[in-house]
Amino acid sequence: MKYFIIYIFSIALLIGCASSSKKYDKGDYDSAMEISAKKIKKDPGKFEEVDVFNDAYRMAYVKDKAEVERLKAEGNPANWSKIYTIYVRMNRRQELAKTLPPVGIVYEEQDFESEIENAKTKATEYAYAKGVEQLGKNDKLAAREAYSRFVEAKSYITNFRDVDEKIAEAKFKGTTNVFFTIEDKSKVVAPKALMEELQAINVDDLDKDWLNYDNTIDSNRIYHYSIILSMTDILVSPEEMKESIAQESKEIEDGFSYVLDANGNVKKDTLGNDIKIPKYKTIHCAIKRVQQRKTARITGSLNYYDNITNKLMKSEPITSDALFENFYAVANGDLNALSPQSQKDLQTQPVPFPPSPDLIIQAGNVLKGMTKDIIVKNAGYLK
């Protein structure tokens, strides 16, 4: 049993060491150092892990130093962001080495902070300059590239020059602005409340990424596209009342009669009681069921216009409905003849038909939701 435990411990030791060595063999020096550092902190006597850490540190340093020298030799200012990233990585390794116990960790301490600051400043200046260059093109797509550059510059130095103003300017110039409005081309005059309801569609919550929607003109913006909800027809059906009448009947007890013998005398049972039999009669009731129905429909189209070319780009038909429907029933006759369902139907009541303008506005509310759904669906259509 003793030898078995020693064997298991030896296997576990080999596996633990192999995990950092395996990362090292694959060239993943940072992962190898992280694994070794954890084990060294836990057990400073793990000298095999110290060796892995030192080897990985040396190889990573040589590799990154050569890469920095190559990038600097190119003389391309675009390389400063890469150089900055490498110096940050080298400094992180050095800080990790400093946290380890003095058990043979070998590294040459260097002042990476000054190199980091220098690279960060140059990377910031380059990103900012490229942003200014793109912004100066007065092009929407170039402004979006400028925005990315300014955001990059801010990620290095938060308060660099006027970077916040430049970000806002690039966002403004790179945004596609869409104006939404409605028009009534129907043969009937739409209720004023309907027009106000539709024009008040909240399009602000449709804004996404580089798309901005407005339903009122902002004189500071250039509108690249217009979306016009054009109503071509508004229909309201007549007030309909469909009636159906059903006759229901039921046989119920209606007193009793005596059973007579051949001589006309009342028969007796074994206890001497008169023998009686129930009498039945059929009762009737007529139930009238009435269906009230009235509808409103708005038809039209959602038209997309390119304001630069004044051309119709796309048109989608749209139809919305509002339905008023009510059922009630009345009865004439003996209510006891009715089935349970018919008696339940009698609990309903007639209600007044809604005024046509109210029903049209209900259809308008449906139209609002449909309109927003179509706009969301076609968002990728606007560049």
pLDDT at 6: 43
* Digit-coded pLDDT (tens) for 356-368: 999 999 999 999 9
pLDDT value at residue 18 = 54
For residue range 202-222, what is the model confidence (pLDDT) as tens digits?
899 999 999 999 999 999 999
The predicted structure's pLDDT at residue 7: 44
pLDDT in tens, 133-186: 999 999 999 999 999 999 999 999 999 999 999 999 999 999 999 999 999 998
What is the model's pLDDT at position 196?
A: 87
Q: Which of 142, 144, 148 is nearest to 163 (CA)?
A: 148
Residue 161 region by backbone torsions, left for phi larger than 0, else alpha for psi between -120 and 50, else beta: left
Residue 100's pLDDT is: 95
pLDDT grade for 383, boundaries at 50, 70 and 90: confident
Quick: pLDDT tens for 14-60.
444 458 999 999 999 999 999 999 999 999 988 999 999 999 999 99
Note the pLDDT of residue 133: 98
Listed residue (268, 215, 263, 246) closest to 337, CA to CA: 246
More confident residue, 16 or 292: 292
List phi, psi (to 5°) of 209: 50, -110
Direct distance between the N- and C-terminal alpha carbons of the chain, in angstroms, rounded to an integer: 74
Res 125: pLDDT: 98
Q: What is the pLDDT of residue 254?
A: 87
* Mean pLDDT score, 350-356: 97
pLDDT class of 377 with cuts at 50, 70, 90 = very high
Bridge partners, 324 (sequence order): 294
State the average pLDDT for the chain.
92
Q: What are the residues whose beta carbons fall under 8 Å from the beta carbon of 363, sequence distance 6 or more?
A: 296, 297, 298, 320, 321, 322
Stretch among 175-189, 214-228, 266-280 having the lowest mean pLDDT: 266-280
Predicted TM-score of the model (pTM): 0.74
Domains of the chain: 2-110 (no CATH), 123-174 (no CATH), 181-253+284-383 (3.40.50)
What whole-number distance in Å separates Cα of residue 89 and Cα of residue 157? 18
What pLDDT sits at residue 318? 97
Pairing of strands 225-236, 240-258: unpaired
Q: pLDDT for 100-136, tens place per residue?
A: 999 999 999 999 999 999 999 999 999 999 999 999 9
- CA trace torsion 88, 90, 92, 97 (10° rounding): -170
Q: How confident is the model at residue 189 (pLDDT cuts 50, 70, 90)?
A: confident
Say what the alpha-carbon torsion angle 89, 90, 91, 94 is, to the nearest 10 degrees.
120
Supply 84's token pair: 């900055």
Cβ within 8 Å of residue 64, ≥6 positions away: 86, 89, 90
pLDDT grade, residue 190 (50/70/90)? confident
pLDDT at 10 over 50: no
Tokens of 15: 């596996």
